[in-house]
Amino acid sequence: MLVWINGAFGSGKTQTAFELHRRIPNSYVYDPENVGFFIRKNIPKGLEKGDFQDFQMWREFNFSMLKYINDNYKGILIVPMTVVNPQYFKDIVEKLRAEHIEVKHFVLWASKETLFKRLRSRAEGKESWAAKQIDRCMEGLSKDIFKEHIHTDNLSIDEVVEIIACSSNIKLLSDNRGEFAKACQRVIVKLKHIRG
């Protein structure tokens, strides 16, 4: 099974993905952005695109990698990635489903105010690249192909994880950590995923 966590930047995809990973035995977090960074670093000037998702090869490679891992790994794949273009979603997610791979897709939905607040918590202001994508993301993710929205404005990461697990029939390990330990772990995840 593959659990795809979609949403605007600041919606909590990465935190949710790594909390799911921590609580699901035999799970693996796959980051499609790494392919985009590879393309960006290995392409001559003049061939760049503003968004690496616009490269067909980005979509083809991620589809192939996800299919390969799914076919050879006996655990659950967790994919935190914003995809708002319906065709790009079809090129990866619908193509995986056509290969009889079970893909559970969730959009973490939040108000603009909440998204801006969350981006500020990671030192990104209203003029940051992520903040400037909010309208585009919200418009794209409101399309019918991106169903299964989880409204996260008033939910904790733990509650979002429980909803995803319940909807996917996944049994989670119990979590006996205190709030301080959880907060420390989330800061570590945030620091590890700051994009320079």
2-30 residue pLDDT tens: 999 999 999 999 999 999 999 999 999 99
Res 195: pLDDT: 53
CA distance 84 to 8: 9
CA distance 112 to 7: 12
In degrees to the nearest 10, what's the CA dihedral of 105, 61, 81, 7?
-60
In degrees to the nearest 10, what's the CA dihedral of 113, 135, 133, 167?
70
Domain ranges of the chain: 2-192
Cβ atoms within 10 Å of 8's Cβ, excluding its own? 28
Res 21: pLDDT: 96
Contact between 172 and 23 under an 8 Å Cβ cutoff? The reply is yes
Identify the H or E element spanning 165: helix 157-167
Q: Give the pLDDT means over successive 10-residue stretches in the chain (196 positions).
A: 96 95 96 95 92 96 98 97 97 98 98 92 83 94 95 95 97 82 68 58
Does domain 2-192 bear CATH number 3.40.50.300?
A: yes
Contact between 69 and 20 under an 8 Å Cβ cutoff? The reply is no
Helix, strand counts (H, E) of the chain: 10, 5
The residues that bridge with 170 in the sheet, in sequence order, are none
pTM value is: 0.89
